[in-house]
């Protein structure tokens, strides 16, 4: 067997292990009875250790060296070798004692965070978070040394391969200058319309589930290779050829579950559309979190808050909930789904104010990793940033710097991908509408095939073959760039 | 760390792997979308190979030798060492190429069997089954050589450690002499009562599920450590502290799901009652398939086809299905649940005729493994055995020797445990009634605590510490013995 073939067999086994872990993780979040938690934690820990051992196996280094000279290795194969090398480097970059110390510090910090958030007590979190931060800095430095990157860029690289803070700084500085004035303007336009009262429920869960499944089917989700279930925190997970999404239902408000299902379906379409021939290989995986988030936001924000979509969805909503009246007309629903508000909580934010939440976190975590700001100053810096970027200051740390689990759980370098994803979503949707003129008319009929067909070709089926900017350039004519996103916001929120 | 401690840590990891496999297998049978089948098969195959490597690890031999001399190893620990040695011996007895050949032959044979059964075509199955049989003989010989057992007993030993065909021959010869005449008598008694017409449905699935869950709760099933779901073939599976059972619902007949749920709950109570301190160790596992089947049959046949149980259950059934009338009185329901019939199909058989199905299969598989009967003669031998044991001959092989998947799927030596389990169930239930006089009055009130408390102590919490006969002797005063089973049948089926 050639060295390249040996590598693909080995990575096929790693994929089989990832698939097992993915389903067990899904089960933990959806089906598992509470008494099984500690047994399950042991099973997952064992499989993760075995997976790490497989991906960090010394033999891989030899195979990689030999495979570079393998004859007959084509375009995709070369890209696969590059991605294999990336995975192997990431898995071997950290000394085992750092991985273990980090895992323990994160477990302790997550526990402390739950209590600290409930009590709105940042000082109680501080020592735990300081330890996580210290180890993240160390991990970033260790990875950075191998890759020739700054510690922050090395952490970012885990979520967004090829992502660089220098580019993000430029994008975010531009947006940070644009958004406060824009938000002001958009709120002024919005104030000319009355604030709608909540739609009158209750909305039966079965009807909500049925409507969600109807939308998933319209978007092109393949139910033979996935499921829809319920979990406390919605996610898209599972395995190759088994992409499972979850939501949670609120009988008083069906929109959260509906828009959540559409968002997760966007993620799932990416996973279901990965290249079949490389499904279990590193080059067949999704490119990174920027494009992943672009696919969910493209569906949720670009496609499914459009007047066209609401023209299609309004009668289905009325039918599902046996509702009628002016509030249930497409136009009124569209106004409802494009309301904006200056809030404290990122996960509740609309697409206009969301970037401010992200830019704030990005700037803070970059300073903390670079050690140019003491962690003890986080609450004050948070509130100052909220004032500058959003014009509103949270009354306490529970609604401020304690709201997200990312930092306590070691997710440093993740936050920027949300807004980079929103920017990419605007760019890709615009390009799809131009390349496939039936995109929006299709959505108005409930036919997503023109849109999804274009995404399949230009995004999903590309796997990890290209880097994000190269993929975007081929698909949209330019690398990641906020111009289309800003134009989209202006069109949607400044028109009356 | 002592050698014994090293072994317990190692077997803790093997248990964590078994738990992962158990949940993935459960998911395959209950939740998995059909498009995921081949990815899942790869994940399960990988985990099973890793599990085998862990259980057959050469280091175990050294630890086992050293642990024999470990100071401070008590009663349970010695039994654990014995069980660890048993697992290790079983895992190392077979050469890898035999395991692989067997696994391939079984896959091919199961496929051929599905078609052959549908077509009632034994000849189409013959070459595939011959190959499985040949490899089972080889496996039995290899294991038998290590253990000093005949090939058949070596196969049996995998399902029922310590089981020996010499003892089974005696028990089954006795039953085979007793049952034909008994069945005749019981049918004569039954003929004095009119055959009841089916209860009038449809019976809504939600109502059936609710009734099943009500019964599970009454029996003492712990819903914090398990679930009830739906699958084509009902089973009890899952993991430590996560014992999941399944059933299937028929809107025309609620009794199958109800009695199926009670049967699987019996299995689940055994699993949930295993000793907590040894949950992940070999000595903390269920003893074998005889006692496992005894626990399901004790609940389904002994406890829950009693007049006492139907006194408790009848009002709940009426309430669940909003039913009334004489057919729904406890006495009429009891007659319905104790009807017997000479049928062709084992899985549909009642407790009187079931042993005949099992004795037939046991005698045939023993002769086939010993090579004292050519496989080509199976259909004729089957039909002759049905005539002798049951007085009825199937009109074709679909209703005859092609009905079960056990032989095509390599389950040789399994069949006798069904009837040995029924015998043990009668013995244990009788002993429980004597030791805990509130057992039957409790059941009449829907309170299974007296029964289950006794089973917890005398069966479940014993794990695999004792062999089956020793456990039965301590619990009931004698080893496995059909006298109580025969007395139970006489009491239930010969009284008018």
Q: What is the secondary structure of B404-455 as a DSSP string?
A: -STTTTT-TT-THHHHHHHHHHHHHHHHHHHH-TTHHHHHHTT--HHHHHHH
3-state secondary structure of A245: strand
Among A177, A191, A486, A167, CA closest to A335: A191
Which residues on adjacent β-strands are paired with residue B243?
A: B238
Q: State whether CATH 1.10.3720.10 applies to domain B116-496.
A: no
Q: Show residues of chain A in contact with B19, CB under 8 Å.
A: 39-40, 42-43
What does A326-362 look like in DSSP terms, one character per residue?
GGGSHHHHHHHHT-----S-GGG--TTTHHHHHHHHH
| Distance between B21 CA and the closest CA of chain A, angstroms | 9
Count other C-beta atoms under 10 Å from residue A62's C-beta. Answer: 12
Residue among A140, A143, A113, A139 at smallest CA distance from A128: A113
What is the structure's pLDDT at B69?
80
Cβ atoms of A183 and A319 within 8 Å: the answer is no
Q: How far is B12 from chain A (nearest CA, A)?
A: 9
Q: A54 contacts in B (CB within 8 Å)? A: none
pLDDT band at B4 (very low <50, low <70, confident <90, very high): very high
Contact A242, A279 (CB under 8 A): no
Whether B161 and B288 have beta carbons less than 8 Å apart is answered as yes
Q: How many residues does chain B have?
A: 496
How much helix, strand and coil, in percent to the nearest 5, is found in chain A? 70, 5, 30
Q: Which residue of A has its CA nearest to B240?
A: A39
- Are the beta carbons of A33 and B240 separated by less than 8 Å? no
Closest-CA distance, B246 to chain A, in angstroms, reads 14
Chain B residues near any Cβ of chain A (below 8 Å)? 12-13, 16-17, 19-20, 23-24, 27, 31-36, 38-40, 42-47, 50, 222-227, 239-242
Q: Which residues of B are annotated as a binding site for Zn(2+)?
A: 263, 267, 293
C-beta of residue A271 within 8 angstroms of C-beta of residue A18: no
Cα dihedral A20/A23/A24/A28 (nearest 10) = 170
Q: Report how far residue A358's alpha carbon sits from residue A351's, in angstroms, rounded to the nearest whole number.
A: 11
Indicate the residue of B20, B38, B46 with minimum beta-carbon distance to A24: B20
Q: What would the mean pLDDT of B385-407 be, rounded to a whole number? A: 96
- From the number of C-beta atoms within 10 Å of its C-beta (0-12, 13-18, 19+), residue A376 rates as exposed
Of A23, A39, A239, the CB nearest to B242: A39
The domain ranges of chain A are 1-93
Q: Is B447 left (phi over 0), alpha (psi -120 to 50) or beta?
A: beta
What is the DSSP secondary-structure string of B171-185?
HHHHHHHHHHHHHHH
CB contact under 8 A, A36 and B222: no
Searching chain A, which residue's CA lies closest to the CA of residue B19?
A: A43
Query: Which residues in chain A are contacts of B240 at CB distance < 8 A?
Result: 36, 39
- B11, B226, B242, B268: which to substitute to probe chain A, counting the most A Cβ within 10 Å? B242
Number of Cβ pairs < 8 A linking chain A and chain B: 105
Residue B71's pLDDT is what?
A: 67
Sheet holding A236-239, edge to edge: A228-230, A242-247, A236-239
For residue B226, the chain A residues in CB contact (below 8 A) are: 33
Q: Are strands B228-230 and B242-247 parallel, antiparallel or unpaired?
A: parallel
Cβ pair B16:A241 closer than 8 A: no
DSSP of B191-258: TTSPPPPPPP----HHHHHHHHHHHHHHHT--GGG--EEE-SS--EEEETTEEEEEE---TT-HHHHH
Do residue B241 and residue A23 have CB atoms under 8 angstroms apart?
no
Structure tokens, A332: 């009124």
Rounded CA separation A422/A356 (Å): 12
Q: What is the distance between the alpha carbons of residues B327 and A224, in angstroms, rounded to a whole number?
A: 43
Of the candidates A24, A224, A225, which has its C-beta nearest B23's C-beta?
A24
| Chain A residues with beta carbon closer than 8 angstroms to that of B46 | 13, 16-17, 20
Helices (DSSP H) in B37-148: which residue ranges?
37-55, 59-68, 75-93, 96-119, 122-147
Best of B17, B18, B37, B42 to mutate (most A CBs within 10 Å, chain A): B42
**What per-residue confidence (pLDDT) applies to A69?**
80
Backbone angles phi, psi at A179, to 5 degrees: -70, -40
User: Phi and psi of B53, rounded to 5°?
Assistant: -60, -40
Q: What is the mean pLDDT of residues B234-241?
A: 97
The secondary element (H helix, E strand) that includes residue A109 is helix A96-119
Chain B positions touching A34 (Cβ under 8 A) are 224
Considering CB atoms only, which of B33, B239, B242 is closest to A242? B33
Q: What phi and psi, each to the nearest 5 degrees, are found at residue A48?
A: -70, -40
Spell out the residues 6+ positions from residue B387 whose beta carbon is closer than 8 angstroms to its own. B393
* Contacts B271 to A, Cβ<8 Å: none
Q: Which residues contact B98 (CB under 8 A, 6 or more apart)?
A: B135, B138, B139, B142
Q: What is the tens place of the pLDDT at every residue in B16-70?
A: 999 999 999 999 999 999 999 999 999 999 999 999 999 999 999 999 999 988 8
Q: Does B137 have pLDDT greater than 70?
A: yes
Chain B residues lying within 8 Å of A224, measured CB to CB: 33-35
Q: Which residues of A touch B (CB under 8 A)?
A: 12-13, 16-17, 19-20, 23-24, 27, 31-36, 38-40, 42-47, 50, 222-227, 239-242
**In this predicted complex, what is the ipTM?**
0.94
pLDDT at A70: 80
Angle of the B3-30 helix axis to the B59-68 helix axis, nearest 10 = 130
* Coil vs helix vs strand at B368: helix
Name the residue of chain A whose CA is nearest to B21's CA: A20
Tell me the β-bridge partners of B244.
B237
B224–A34 CB contact, under 8 Å: yes
Residues of A with CB below 8 A from B31's CB? 31, 227
Q: Which residues of B are catalytic?
A: 264
| Tally of residues, chain A | 496
Tell me the C-alpha to C-alpha distance, in Å, between residue B280 and each of A402, B45, B125, B242.
Answer: 39, 22, 40, 13
CB–CB of B43 and A222 under 8 A? Answer: no
Min Cα–Cα distance to chain B from A11, Å: 12
Any idea which residues of A carry the catalytic annotation? 264
Closest by Cα among A24, A102, A258, A342 to B21: A24
Does the distance separating the beta carbons of B42 and A224 come in below 8 Å?
no
> In terms of Cα–Cα distance, which of B52, B111, B461 is closest to B291?
B461
Average the pLDDT over B396-402 and give the result.
98
Please give the structure tokens belonging to residue B283. 């000595």
Structure tokens at B140: 């039995």
Among B35, B224, B240, the residue with its CB nearest the CB of A225 is B35
| Angle, vertex CA A494, rays to CA A489 and CA A495, nearest 5 | 115
Reported as half-sphere exposure (CB side, CA atoms, 13 A), residue A51 has a value of 19
B120 — alpha (psi -120 to 50), left (phi > 0) or beta? left
Q: Has A267 been labeled as part of a binding site? A: yes
Residue B229 phi, psi dihedral angles, 5° rounding:
-135, -170
Contact assignment for A39 to B12 by CB distance below 8 Å: no
**What are the residues facing B364 on neighbouring strands?**
none
Torsion of the alpha carbons at B179, B182, B184 and B190, rounded to the nearest 10: -130
Structure tokens at B470: 């020793």
Residue in A23, A43, A242 nearest the CB of B19: A43
- Answer whether residue B96 shows pLDDT above 90: no
Q: SS3 of B402, please?
A: coil
Question: Could you tell me the CA-to-CA distances from B451 to B288, B459, B464 in Å, in that order?
Answer: 21, 11, 21
The answer, yes or no, to whether the previous bond of A202 is cis (omega within 30 of 0) is yes
State how far the Cα of B472 lies from the Cα of B429, in Å rounded to an integer.
11
Shortest CA gap B17–chain A (Å): 6
Furthest C-alpha separation in chain A? 70
What pLDDT, on a 0 to 100 scale, did the predictor assign at position A493?
97
- What would the pLDDT profile of B171-187 be if each residue is shown by its tens digit? 999 999 999 999 999 99
The position carrying tokens 């990157």 is A149
Which residues share a beta bridge with B247? B230
Is pLDDT of B73 > 80?
no
3-state secondary structure of A229: strand
Point out the residue among A20, A33, A222 whose CB comes nearest to the CB of B225.
A33
Contact A16 B46 (CB under 8 A): yes
Across the interface, whether the CB atoms of A224 and B33 are under 8 A apart is answered: yes
Contact by Cβ (8 Å): B458, B331? no
Measure Cα distances from B418 to B175, B281, B337, B381 in Å: 14, 26, 20, 21
Binding positions of B are 263, 267, 293
* Buried b or exposed e, range B95-106, using 16+ CB within 10 angstroms: eeeeeebbeebb
Q: pLDDT tens, position by position, for chain A (496 residues)? A: 899 999 999 999 999 999 999 999 999 999 999 999 999 999 999 999 999 999 999 999 999 999 988 867 789 999 999 999 999 998 999 988 898 899 889 989 999 999 999 999 999 999 999 999 999 999 999 999 999 999 999 999 999 999 999 999 999 999 999 999 999 999 999 999 999 999 999 999 999 999 999 999 999 999 999 999 999 899 999 999 999 999 999 999 999 999 999 999 999 999 999 999 999 999 999 999 999 999 999 999 999 999 999 999 999 999 999 999 999 999 999 999 999 999 999 999 999 999 999 999 999 999 999 999 999 999 999 999 999 999 999 999 999 999 999 999 999 999 999 999 999 999 999 999 999 999 999 999 999 999 999 999 999 999 999 999 999 999 999 999 999 999 999 999 998 7
Cα–Cα dist B134/A181, whole Å: 81
């Amino acid at each position: 067997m050639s060295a390249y073939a040996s590598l693909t067999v080995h990575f096929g086994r790693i994929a089989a292990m990832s698939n097992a872990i993915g389903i067990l993780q899904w089960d933990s979040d959806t089906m598992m009875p509470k008494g099984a938690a500690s047994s399950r934690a042991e099973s997952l820990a064992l499989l993760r250790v075995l997976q790490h051992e497989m991906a960090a196996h010394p033999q891989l280094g030899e195979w990689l060296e030999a495979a570079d000279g393998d004859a007959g290795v084509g375009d995709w194969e070369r890209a696969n070798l590059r991605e294999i090398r990336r995975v192997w480097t990431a898995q071997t970059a950290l000394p085992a004692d750092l991985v273990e110390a980090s895992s323990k510090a994160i477990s302790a910090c997550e526990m402390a965070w739950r209590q600290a958030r409930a009590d709105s007590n940042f000082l109680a979190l501080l020592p735990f978070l300081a330890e996580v931060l210290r180890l993240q800095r160390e991990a970033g430095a260790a990875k950075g040394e191998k890759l020739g990157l700054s510690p922050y860029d090395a952490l970012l690289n885990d979520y967004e391969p090829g992502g660089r803070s220098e580019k993000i700084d430029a994008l975010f500085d531009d947006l940070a200058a644009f958004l406060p004035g824009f938000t002001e303007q958009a709120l002024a336009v919005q104030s000319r319309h009355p604030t709608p009262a909540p739609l009158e429920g209750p909305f039966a869960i079965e009807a909500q589930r049925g409507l969600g499944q109807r939308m998933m089917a319209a978007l092109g989700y393949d139910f033979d290779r996935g499921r829809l279930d319920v979990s406390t925190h919605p996610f898209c997970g599972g395995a190759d050829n088994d992409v499972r999404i979850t939501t949670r239902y609120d009988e008083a408000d069906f929109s959260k579950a509906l828009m959540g299902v559409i968002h997760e379906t966007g993620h799932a379409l990416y996973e279901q559309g990965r290249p079949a021939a490389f499904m279990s290989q590193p080059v067949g995986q999704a490119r990174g979190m920027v494009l992943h988030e672009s696919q969910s936001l493209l569906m949720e924000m670009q496609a499914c808050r459009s007047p066209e979509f609401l023209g299609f969805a309004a009668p289905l909503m009325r039918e599902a909930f046996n509702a009628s009246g002016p509030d249930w007309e497409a136009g009124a629903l569209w106004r409802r789904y494009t309301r904006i508000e200056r809030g404290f909580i990122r996960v509740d934010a609309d697409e206009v104010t969301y970037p401010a939440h992200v830019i704030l976190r990005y700037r803070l975590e970059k300073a903390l990793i670079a050690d140019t700001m003491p962690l003890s100053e986080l609450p004050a810096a948070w509130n100052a940033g909220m004032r500058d970027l959003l014009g509103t200051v949270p009354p306490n740390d529970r609604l401020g710097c304690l709201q997200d689990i990312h930092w306590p759980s070691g997710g440093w370098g993740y936050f920027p991908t949300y807004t980079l994803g929103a920017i990419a979503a605007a760019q890709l949707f615009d390009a799809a509408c131009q390349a496939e003129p039936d995109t929006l008319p299709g959505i108005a009929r409930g036919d997503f095939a023109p849109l999804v067909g274009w995404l399949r070709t230009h995004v999903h089926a590309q796997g990890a073959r290209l880097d994000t900017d190269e993929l975007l350039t081929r698909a949209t004519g330019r690398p990641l760039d906020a111009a289309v996103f800003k134009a989209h916001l202006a069109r949607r929120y400044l028109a009356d």
